[in-house]
Structure formats: C-alpha cells, structure tokens
Amino acid sequence: MDVNGKVAVVTGSSAGVGRATAELLASIGAKVVVNYAHSAADAEETVEAIQAAGGTAHAFQADVRDDASCRALIASAVDTYGGLHILVNNAGMTHFIPHAELDRLTDEVWNDTFSVNVQGTFNCTRAAVPHMRAAGEGAVVNVASIAGIRGVGSSIPYAASKAAIINMTKSLARVLGPEIRVNCIAPGFIDTRWLRGGMGERYDQAKATASEHTPLKAVATPETCADAILSFIQHNVFVTGQTVVVDGGSSL
C-alpha cells in the first residue's frame, strides 16, 4: 500500500508505540487521527509534533470499550479526510499483578483488561470495515504482546487478552479478505513511559536483564515497533493473519 494520501486511525496514540506509529505514518504522507481515552494534552502534543513536521493530523477522544465511541472515532476520520485505509489497534491497558497472586484477579480486573484490549480491538475493526471496503483496500494491524505467546507479562488477564488478539487476528483475516489485510505485532519489553510507570522501581533492573538476555542486546522501543507495524501496512501486501514477534530475539 502506498501510504501517501491514505487515511489512518491509530488508537491509543497519545504516547508510546501509538504516538511513534502516528508520527511515522504522517511523515510519509498519511492523514492521521490521533486517538486518546484520557490524555488530551499528550494527544494534542502528538498532533502538534506531526503538524510541525509538515504532516496532517487531528486528535479524537474515544474509549474503545464503547462501540458507539469507536464508530464515532472512525466517522471522524471519514468525515474529515474522505475515507479510511489504515487502522492500528494499539490502545491497551493492564493491571500489574504477579501471576501467582490469583485471588487478586477479580472480575473487575478481568473485565477492565478484556474490554479494552480485546473488545476494543474488535469494536474499532468492525467500525472500520465498511469504509475500507468502500475504499477498495485496507490494512489493520493489531498490537498484541509476547505475553500472549509465552504467558508472561504484567498479569494473567493481560497475557490472556493478548493471546485473544493474536487469535482474533487470524479470524478477522479470514473473513475480511481480499480487500482488507489483518496482521499483528507481538512486542517484548518496550522502553516506554507507560511500562516504567507500571513497574516502578523494578523497571531499570528489568530492562537491563531483558537486554542482557536478548541476542540483539537491547529492548524494543516505540520506534522499532512502529517500523514493524509499517512493514505490514506498506510492504507485506500478500501477508494476512500473521503475528510478528518484535523482541530482539529474547523469546528464542
């Protein structure tokens, strides 16, 4: 897909992987909707950075757990820019709970995690489908995690939700072709403000350990994840239903 002139929605793009992806897409000519749930100031900062670099973008608040909000988000892209070609389902959340502490995994924790990570991914994709089909082409990229493959990560519900995204990627790819391709990335440890905030004082040691035990001797960054997302959109045009692990080889 030639990204120049195409319209993209990136969920959860006020910071981290989402922001890096929005900025990368805009840098090569996409018109981007920067979605956020709560961080309006960060979203506007992302839009301003894109515009300062000569790109086109606007921010739109939507909680992906809510189907009506997802439909409004997609409508904002279509109404503003005349169509939709690209959707990156990056919005996600977790509760940082050690896996052995089963009694802390309340219904609220499960519902919070799955409603954003799984239902949100589905809601946005469903809302995007008719517009991508009308455009004659579409690329959806979901952001999962190595947690969904290895059963590790911030909590058991988080790992399970990311496994669900990987599985749903396959299901959607089967039913949305040939016009729409659906793929997924599964990052390992990512050097982000979000992860640092969740891990607190454990972050620096965890990052150092992850880097030491990775063949490439580093951890993922928002930018390396954005590069992998772009490859599914721009280059791998005969690939659908696949998940690429972006972890520097740490899961080998």
Tell me how far CA of residue 246 lies from CA of 28, 52, 228, in angstroms. 22, 29, 8
Helix (H, G, I), strand (E, B) or coil at 248: coil
Q: What angle is formed at CA 82 by the lines to CA 37 and CA 231, rounded to 5 degrees?
A: 65
* Exposure string over 214-251, b if 16+ CB within 10 A, otherwise e: beeeebbbbebbbebbbebbbebeeebbbbbbbbbebe
DSSP strands (E only) in the chain: 7-10, 31-36, 56-61, 86-89, 138-143, 180-187, 243-246
Residues in the chain: 252
**Residue 158 catalytic?**
yes
Alpha-carbon gap, residue 44 to 15, rounded angstroms: 11
Catalytic residue among 36, 81, 158, 203: 158
* Enclosing H/E stretch for 161: helix 156-176
Residue 141, CA distances (Å) to 20, 55, 197 in order: 14, 21, 26
Tokens describing residue 236: 């791998």
- Give me the active site residues, please: 158
